[in-house]
Amino acid sequence: MQDRKDLTDKQINDTLTNSILRTPLHWYILTGFFATIVLLGFVAVGILANRGLGMTGMNRPVYWGFFITNFVFWIGISHAGVMLSAILRLAQAEWRRPATRAAEVLTVFALGTAAMMPIVHLGRMWRFYWVFPYDWARGIWPDIRSPLVWDPHALSTYLIGSSLFIFVALIPDFAVLRDKTSGMAHSIYGALSMGFRGTVRQWRLQAIAGIILSALLLPVFVSVHSIVSWDFGMAMAIPAWHTTIFAPYFVIGAVHSGVAGVITVLILLRWLFRWDDFIRREHIDALGRLLFVVANAWLFFFALEFMFGLYHQEGTEVVVRDLWLFQTPWNVIFLVFIFTGYIIPVPMWLFRSVRRSFPLMLFTTILVNIGMWLERFLLIIPSMGRKHSFTFVWGDFAPSPIELMIVTATFALVFMLMLLFAKVFPLIPIFDIKEGNVLRDEIQIGRRTVQAVIREE
C-alpha cells in the first residue's frame, strides 16, 4: 500500500517553500539549543588551543583518540549523499526523489565537520595549512607519500564536488524561490538561479550536468574513505590495521552509517516541517531495504577483517581480538557495537511493518550510528594501546571532558547547519518531486491497481 496524495504543482511549491518563507517557533528553539552546544564546543576548542593536547585523554602510546574516531565517523556519514543521490539517480530509482537533497546537504555538513577534527587534533591547529604543498615559507614540501597528506586533498576534492553537485541540483528551486520572494531575498535567489527560466535547453543542461557530476563524484566518494582507511592500513606497526580489506570495509561501513543517518534526518525533518505528503512510508521502506543489503555486506567485510586478523596467528593481532572479545571494558564496548550496529536493527528490518514505521526506523537507525561510532573507536584505540609486545609500553585511553564536549558539539553543529539550510533553501527538491509526479502512473491488472512509472526510451 502506498499512502501518497496527489498534489498540484502549486501545493508542492507552497508546502516545500513554507519552511523558508515562514519560520515556526520550534525552529528557533531547536536551532538555539544546538547553537548553545556548538558555542560550548568552540569554548572547549579555545581551551584546547590555549592549554594544549594535555587537556585530552591521549597519552603514550595512544595518540589517536576521540577526535580521530569522530573524524572517521563523520566521513562515514558524509558518504550517504553521493550513495543515495548519484547512484540512485543513475539507477533511475523513483523513490530517491524526496531523499536526495537532504542526503547531499548532510554530505557537505558532515564533511566540513569531519575536516575540523584532525585540525583540532593537531593541538597547534593554526598550523593546519602545513599539510598543503607549498614551500616558499618553509623551504620544504610535505611528504606526499604519507596518507595523512592524501587525506586533506581527497577530502577537499569531495567537498568541492559535492557542493557543486548540490548547487546544480538547486538551480531550478532557486528560480522558484526567486519568483516567490521580493527585495533582497529576490535578488539573492535571482543571482543564485543564474537566469533559470525552465526552457527546454536549460532543463537539458541541468539534467546532463547532474548526470555528469554523479558519474564524476562516484569515484571520488569511493576514494575518500579508502584514503581515510589507508591512514590506518599503511601503518605497519599497529596491529589490526595493516590489512588489504580496509578500503572497501571502510567504504561499506560509511555507507551503512551514512544511509542510516539520512533516514534519521529525513524522519526528523518530516516531523519538524510536517512533510508527511513527501516523505512517506514507501520511501523509508525502500531505504530500509537498501540498508538491509548494505548492513549485510558490511557484516561480511567485518567478518573477513576479523578472521584474517587471526589467520596468521601473530601475537599482537591476536591480542587485539582478545581485547575486543574478552577484556573489559573493550568487550562491553564490542557487545554494544555489534548489538546496536547489527544484531538489533538488521533482523528488525526484515519485517515490512518495521521498515514502514517512522518511530521504529528512527530508533534502529540511531542505534546503527551508535554502533558505527563505537566500531571506529574499537578499531583505533585498542590497536594503539597494544602496538608493542612489551607491557611497559601498553596504554589505555579515557576521554577528557574537553573531548566529550567537542565531540558532542560536532553532532549539534551538523543538526544546526541542517536547520539553518532548511531556513534558506528547500531541503526537498521541488523540481524533482514535480518530475516524479509527471512520471508516475497506475495500471489496472484484473481487479488490482498497480503503481507504475513512465519510462522514456
| Separation between Cα atoms, residue 348 and residue 353, nearest integer Å | 9
Instruction: Answer yes or no whether residue 454 interacts with another protein by CB under 8 A.
Output: yes
| Separation between Cα atoms, residue 143 and residue 133, nearest integer Å | 9
Kindly identify the residues of this chain, within the stretch 269-298, that bind another protein according to CB under 8 A.
282
User: From the list 34, 221, 246, 330, which residue makes contact with another protein (rule: CB under 8 A)?
Assistant: 246
Q: Cβ of residue 305: shortest distance to another protein, in angstroms?
A: 6
Q: Cβ of residue 357: shortest distance to another protein, in angstroms?
A: 16
Instruction: Answer yes or no whether residue 33 interacts with another protein by CB under 8 A.
Output: no
Complex with another protein: residue 192 or 286, whichever CB lies closer = 286
Complex with another protein: residue 140 or 445, whichever CB lies closer = 445
CB of 332 closer than 8 Å to CB of 326: no
Binding mask 76-105 for another protein (x = CB under 8 A): --------------xx--x-----------
Kindly identify the residues of this chain, within the stretch 188-227, that bind another protein according to CB under 8 A.
219, 222, 226
Report residue 229 as a C-alpha cell.
Answer: 582507511
Report residue 173 as a C-alpha cell.
Answer: 528551486
Instruction: Answer yes or no whether residue 443 interacts with another protein by CB under 8 A.
Output: yes
Q: Which amino acid is at 255?
A: V
User: From the list 75, 103, 105, 247, which residue makes contact with another protein (rule: CB under 8 A)?
Assistant: 247
Kindly identify the residues of this chain, within the stretch 296-325, that bind another protein according to CB under 8 A.
300-301, 304-305, 307-308, 310-313
**32-40, 111-119, 171-179, 246-254 -> range binding another protein (CB under 8 A):** 246-254
Q: Torsion-angle region of residue 105: left (phi > 0), alpha (psi -120 to 50) or beta?
A: alpha
CA 189 and chain centroid, separation: 27
Letter string b/e over residues 330-360, b meaning 16 or more CB atoms within 10 A of that residue's CB:
beebbeebbebbbeebbebbeeeebbbbbeb
Alpha-carbon distances, residue 431 vs 13, 16, 234 (angstroms): 9, 11, 45
| Separation between Cα atoms, residue 132 and residue 135, nearest integer Å | 9
Kindly state the number of chain residues that form the binding site for another protein, as judged by CB under 8 A.
42
* Angle, in degrees to the nearest 10, between helices 246-273 and 25-51: 140
Positions touching another protein (CB under 8 A) are 1-2, 90-91, 94, 219, 222, 226, 230, 233-234, 236, 242-248, 282, 300-301, 304-305, 307-308, 310-313, 438, 441, 443, 445, 450-457
